[in-house]
Amino acid sequence: MAREQFGVCAEPSLHGYYLLFNALDDKNLFLRKALSRLPALFDKYADRFSEANLAGVIAIGTNFWDELYPQGRPKHLRQFPEMAIEDRTAPANNYDLYVEIRGDRADVNHIVATKVCQLLSDSVELVEQVRAFRFLDGRDLSGFVDGTENPQGHHRRRVALINDEQDPEFAAGSYLHIQRYRHNLNLWNSLEVKEQEDVFSRTKVNNDEYSEENKAPTSHIKRVNLKDSEGNSLEILRQSMPYGDMKLQGLFFVSYCHTPEPFELMLKSMISGDAHGHSDHLLKYTQAETGAAFFVPSLNILAQLGE
């Protein structure tokens, strides 16, 4: 049975390191071998620093997949849904590889990120790096708790991982979408707390959800809480983390799912809005600066890359 990469469904951590690479020409043979060795590298440091709860994810960019694994393509692997309406934009970038390193020790993440870069160094160019951290009790830098309605327990696996019936060849894999959002916290903090709460349809301090009749159609929760034609909620597993320094701040948004569709529909609902043009007012205070789609192969497929 195929085994998933541990980081996909791992619980939230205190620190994150996200690395985005492009592959250099004519290095695919080397790169396949190097990628196949990364899970063992994660295991080694997870063992050595067991209290760090280290979790890693390796993902392959949608445009790079065929070059790296010509034997087959996950059924629904496709481009990131680039969108732009007025000042609401979701740009798309082309990254070949994504490596997520999460854990409760920033120093251990740093060591592991260094080792990953060393192992891949002859075959890739590092094009983006984001160091992220848990903020207070799991809040976004807006001050609101992020992740409350995430699937919990065993349900995380059902949402995030492809099962044997859905796509047997790629079982235990996952579709990944990322976006680096940059917040305008000066503008956000100029709002009254009640105005901020209306943007999410949740209270700030206690994180209570508004009653249905009090939710504005332009609130974030209203825009992303979608149902399919049979009335079932569309779900994704969010593993986003805040990042920032004294110059710029935001959220590194990360979504895993057994199909790309829920993320695509949610993003469209935020940007295009509903039939009455109600788009997500959260986007007045934050803007996506990057976006990309990847596939997270099972450990079995990663191992095959090295053969």
> Toward ligand HEM, which CB reaches closer, 236 or 302?
236
> Minimum distance from CB of 262 to ligand HEM (Å)?
8
> Toward ligand HEM, which CB reaches closer, 15 or 222?
222
* Cα dihedral sign, 38-39-42-47: negative
Binding of ligand HEM by 132 (CB under 6 A)? no
Catalytic residue among 26, 137, 140, 146: 146
> Toward ligand HEM, which CB reaches closer, 50 or 232?
232
Answer for which of 15, 156, 180, 202 binds ligand HEM (CB under 6 A) is: 202
Binding of ligand HEM by 249 (CB under 6 A)? no
DSSP 8-state assignment for residue 246? S
> Minimum distance from CB of 149 to ligand HEM (Å)?
3
- Number of chain positions touching ligand HEM (CB under 6 A): 23
Binding of ligand HEM by 135 (CB under 6 A)? no
Binding of ligand HEM by 80 (CB under 6 A)? no
> Toward ligand HEM, which CB reaches closer, 49 or 175?
175
- And the tokens for 203? 């209270």
Binding of ligand HEM by 129 (CB under 6 A)? no
> Toward ligand HEM, which CB reaches closer, 102 or 220?
220
Q: What is the 3-state secondary structure of the chain?
A: CCCCCCCCCCCCCCEEEEEEEEECCCCHHHHHHHHHHHHHHHHHHHHHCHHHCCEEEEEEECCCHHHHCCCCCCCCCCCCCCEEECCEEECCCCCCEEEEEEECCHHHHHHHHHHHHHHHCCCEEEEEEEEEECCCCCECCCCCECCCCCCCCCHHHHHHCCCCCCCHHHCCCEEEEEEEEEECHHHHHCCCHHHHHHHHCECCCCCCECCHHHCCCCCHHHHHCCECCCCCECCCEECCEEEECCCCEEEEEEEEECCCHHHHHHHHHHHCCCCCCCCCHHHHCEEECCCEEEEECCHHHHHHHCC
Q: Give me the 137-156 binding string for ligand HEM, x by CB under 6 A, dash otherwise.
A: ---x-x-xxxxxx-------
Answer for which of 18, 175, 200, 243 binds ligand HEM (CB under 6 A) is: 200
> Minimum distance from CB of 137 to ligand HEM (Å)?
12
146 is catalytic: yes
Answer for which of 224, 241, 271, 296 binds ligand HEM (CB under 6 A) is: 224
> Which residues in 263-302 contact ligand HEM (CB under 6 A)?
263, 266-267, 286
169: number of Cβ within 10 Å:
15
The Cα 273–Cα 236 span in angstroms is 19
Binding of ligand HEM by 198 (CB under 6 A)? no
Q: Which residues are catalytic?
A: 146
What residues line the site for ligand HEM (CB under 6 A)?
A: 140, 142, 144-149, 179, 181, 200, 202, 220-221, 224-225, 236, 251, 253, 263, 266-267, 286
